[in-house]
Amino acid sequence: MNWIFQNELVIIAFTAIIYFGAQKLQKKTGIVVLNPILITIAIIIPFLIVFHIDYEVYNKGGKYIEFFLKPAVVALGVPLYQQLEKIKKQALHIIISQLIGCLVGIVSVVLIAKMMGASKEIIFSLAPKSVTTPIAIEVSKTIGGIAPLTASVVIVVGIFGAIFGYGIMKLTKVKNPIAQSLSMGNAAHAVGTSKSMEISPNFGAMSSIGLIINGIFTAILSPYILKLMGHWITF
């Protein structure tokens, strides 16, 4: 089995086929927990372990898939451009609420993790947990977290937000649809946005603004926020 996986094209095809199947499965069942990324990872990891294939071997093909992360983030400039008019109309409200969402997101996760006694590496890996994965991975690398850990936490957070987000906001009386969809994008990035997209394209558009703006804020601010927090807490 191991020798087949020495070929990087086999690895790429294998990953794409599993992802495609997972995507189909979610579309058919409509169950949010069956997130394609989560399922693909949950199939590949046990597979590699069972057949004694090292991650380094898998990554020979994996690195070609990962290569596209950066161009894909650049491509997010297109939806951002398309939402520009909408953003302008309520620019101040959006920016202030996103900024507060960003600050609260980083500070709260750091404080809770610290209180529970997590190590420095873990805390830094959790800090960018609210933003879309490629941005979170980059941020995590910049501030000294463990990028793969960040990646998995981000996905779990996104799925959690997509499943429970609107329910939580109903309970806490966040009633305004724009406020709901913006904070969904802020807290649960792309996965939350896909949930909003299911409700209506308008919800989806607002959520994507939340995900993009919080991504930018988190990328810019998180090193400084952590440095500031470092004055009061020893990580």
Partner 1 sequence: MIRQCAIIFGCLAIGELIVHFTSINLPSSIIGMLLLTLLLKLEWIKLEWIKGIADFLVNALPFFFVPAGVAVMLYYDLIFASFWEILVASFGSTIIVLVVTGWTHQHLRVRTKKNRSKREKLIAR
- Chain positions 124 to 143 lying near partner 1, rule: CB under 8 A, are 126, 129-130, 132-135, 137-139, 142
Distance CA 187, CA 159 (A): 11
CB of 230 to partner 1, least distance (A): 15
Give the nearest distance from C-beta 121 to partner 1 in angstroms.
7
- Min dist. Cβ of residue 141 to partner 1 (A): 8
Indicate the DSSP class of residue 91: H
CB 3 to partner 1: min, Å? 20
Among 179, 197, 199, 229, binds partner 1 (CB under 8 A): 179
**Residue reference for tokens 């607002």:** 206
Is-contact 73 134, C-beta < 8 A?
yes
Q: Closest CB to partner 1 among 29 and 118?
A: 118
51 binds partner 1 (CB under 8 A): no
- Judged by CB under 8 A, the residue of 5, 109, 124, 203 near partner 1 is 109
Question: Binding to partner 1 (CB under 8 A): which residues in 186-205?
Answer: 186-188, 190
Cβ pair 211, 184 in contact under 8 A = no
Q: Is 59 in the site for partner 1 (CB under 8 A)?
A: yes
**Cα maximum dimension of the chain:** 58
Segment interacting with partner 1, rule: CB under 8 A, options 1-9, 26-34, 116-124, 195-203? 116-124
Residue 75 within binding range of partner 1, rule CB under 8 A: yes
Triad 96, 102, 105: Cα angle to 5°? 135
C-alpha span between 221 and 218 (Å, rounded): 5
Ranges within 15-34 binding partner 1 (CB under 8 A): 15-16, 19
Q: Which uninterrupted H or E stretch holds 182? A: helix 177-199
For the chain, strand residue ranges (E) read: none
Neighbours of 198 (CB within 10 A): 12
Q: Is 213 in the site for partner 1 (CB under 8 A)?
A: no
Q: Judged by CB under 8 A, does residue 49 bind partner 1? A: yes
Of 182, 70, 191, 210, residue with least CA distance to 135: 70
Least distance (Å) between residue 201 CB and partner 1:
15
